[in-house]
């Protein structure tokens, strides 16, 4: 029997293709494909006899009793004996326990790996004053993490502000509320975003029509610069390099118009 997208009585789609649903159930429960397919069929159409399950799924005639026997008592209930009729236990009770276990494991793994990540970063800090950050998302994440960790000041020269969305405006506002001095020199093309940052986040901002690079200086200790088309970043923790870009920032600011 061909799979059909599940539609509820109100005519709305369930949002998952049938094969995708079976794959999700199989992966979450750790089942075989036959077990997942049989359970989904019983949920949708039960109570079902073994012959119904064979007709509705790809479970072979010779395997159906073994497959259902593995599910009996755990996730399906049985009515009668000759032939048996199967009804499904509520999906929330069946999959919910697994979901909670996955969440607990994911939280534990994240906590542990986060500690190891910070330890490794600390080791790297003593070995490498500069490294490349591949990808737009990685560069943005590194920049936002550095801004959130700022203690005294952030100086930002920005040619392209597409990465600054409403969430980032709020995050920057919280950094300013902590007493961190936040200064931005930006290109006039995104002056509306600069105005928003000034009004909603409380930053100090200037417009400069010759901005040709994007970099941030955090607490005069860390430099993050986007290179190329912004798809690659460079993070530097070298005092002399940071000083050079600090001077560049001041030149931009002195030539710029305050917002």
- Check the CA dihedral 226-231-235-241 and report its sign: negative
Task: Report yes or no: 222 and 237 within 8 Å, Cβ to Cβ.
Answer: yes
Nearest of 73, 67, 70 to residue 54 by alpha carbon: 67
pLDDT tens-place string over residues 7-61 = 343 444 445 676 778 888 888 888 899 988 998 888 888 788 999 999 999 999 9
Task: Please give the C-alpha separations between residue 49 and each of 38, 66, 75, 82, 94, in angstroms, as whole numbers.
Answer: 11, 14, 16, 9, 21
Q: Which residue has the higher pLDDT, 17 or 233?
A: 233
- For domain 18-93, give the fold: Arc Repressor Mutant, subunit A (1.10.10)
Phi first, then psi, for residue 153 (nearest 5°) are -155, 150
Percent of the chain topping pLDDT 70: 80
- 119-258 CATH fold: Endonuclease; Chain A (3.30.870)
Q: Where does the pLDDT of residue 79 fall: very low under 50, low under 70, confident under 90, or very high at 90 and above? A: confident
Nearest alpha-carbon partner for 248 in 149, 155, 169: 155
Domain pair 18-93 / 119-258, same fold: no
- Against a cut of 0.85, is the pTM above it? no
For the stretch 146-203, pLDDT in tens is 899 999 999 999 888 778 888 889 999 999 999 999 999 998 888 888 899 999 999 9
Indicate the domain borders of the chain. Answer: 18-93, 119-258
Closest CA to 34 of 17, 4, 56, 49: 56
Residue with more model confidence, 137 or 171: 171
């Amino acid at each position: 029997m061909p799979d059909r997208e599940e539609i509820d009585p109100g005519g709305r789609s369930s949002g998952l293709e049938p094969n995708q649903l079976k794959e999700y159930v199989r992966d979450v429960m750790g089942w075989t494909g036959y077990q997942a397919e049989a359970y989904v069929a019983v949920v949708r159409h039960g109570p079902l006899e073994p012959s119904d399950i064979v007709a509705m799924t790809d479970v072979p005639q010779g395997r159906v009793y073994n497959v259902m026997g593995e599910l009996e008592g755990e996730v399906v209930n049985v009515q009668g004996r000759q032939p048996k009729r199967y009804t499904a236990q509520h999906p929330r009770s069946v999959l919910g326990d697994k979901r909670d276990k996955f969440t607990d494991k994911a939280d534990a793994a994240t906590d542990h790996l986060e500690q190891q990540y910070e330890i490794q970063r600390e080791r790297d800090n003593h070995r490498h004053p500069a490294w490349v950050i591949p990808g737009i998302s990685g560069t943005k994440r590194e920049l936002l993490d550095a801004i959130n960790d700022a203690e005294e000041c952030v100086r930002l020269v920005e040619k392209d502000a597409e990465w600054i969305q409403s969430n980032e405006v709020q995050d920057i506002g919280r950094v300013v509320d902590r007493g961190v001095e936040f200064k931005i020199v930006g290109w006039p093309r995104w002056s509306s975003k600069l105005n928003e940052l000034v009004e909603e986040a409380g930053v100090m901002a200037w417009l400069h029509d010759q901005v040709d690079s994007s970099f941030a200086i955090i607490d005069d200790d860390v430099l993050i610069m986007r290179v190329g088309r912004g798809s690659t970043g460079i993070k530097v923790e070298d005092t002399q390099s940071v000083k050079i870009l600090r001077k560049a920032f001041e030149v931009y600011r002195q030539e710029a118009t305050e917002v």
